């Protein structure tokens, strides 16, 4: 995986849109070179949504004791897939997720579930007090038959 760009933002919900627009744009530039035009919109939307979800989670779980918290978004890619990592210094969390029980009208808890459904692989590692949530999706290369 080759690094593309890294963006560090203040952990504030005000900036969630910056993160997700950035993800959408990076995905679009990446997909432009790799996949057929029909799938680009869906590919980009998956990144826009997933980063929006992950960034929101990072901000929500930031400890209020450290107001100058930051969240880093790092993009890297290889020939066919694009990875985005969301890195924060919050406490450890459990990334395994299940579908929320919709019949109870839950107001939250959809975030990680959505990410898992939108992305091909989602991996979570904890290194030196940082959480790294990496989401990867394969750009669909449709073969002409």
Q: Is 37 in the site for another protein (CB under 8 A)?
A: no
Q: Is 98 in the site for another protein (CB under 8 A)?
A: yes
In the complex, what is the shortest distance from the CB of residue 122 to another protein, in angstroms, rounded to a whole number? 8
Residue 38 · residue 92 · CB < 8 Å:
no
- The structure tokens listed for 32 are 């432009």
Q: Is 89 in the site for another protein (CB under 8 A)?
A: no
Q: Is 93 in the site for another protein (CB under 8 A)?
A: no
Count of beta carbons in the 10 Å neighbourhood of residue 1: 13
Q: Is 114 in the site for another protein (CB under 8 A)?
A: yes
Residues making contact with another protein (CB under 8 A): 1, 13-14, 16-17, 20, 38, 45, 48-49, 52-53, 56, 59-60, 78, 96-100, 102-103, 105-108, 110-111, 113-114, 116-118, 121, 123
């Amino acid at each position: 995986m080759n690094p593309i760009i890294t963006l560090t933002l203040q952990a504030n919900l005000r900036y969630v849109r910056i993160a997700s627009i950035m993800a959408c744009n990076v995905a679009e530039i990446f997909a432009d070179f790799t996949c057929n035009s029909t799938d680009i919109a869906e590919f980009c939307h998956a990144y826009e949504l997933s980063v929006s979800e992950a960034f929101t989670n990072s901000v929500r779980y930031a400890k209020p004791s450290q107001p100058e918290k930051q969240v880093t978004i790092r993009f890297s890619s290889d020939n066919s897939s694009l990875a985005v990592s969301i890195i924060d210094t919050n406490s450890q969390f459990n990334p395994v997720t299940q579908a929320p029980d919709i019949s109870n009208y839950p107001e939250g808890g959809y975030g990680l579930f959505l990410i898992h459904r939108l992305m091909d692989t989602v991996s979570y590692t904890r290194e030196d007090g940082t959480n790294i949530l990496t989401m990867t999706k394969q750009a669909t290369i449709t073969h002409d038959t």
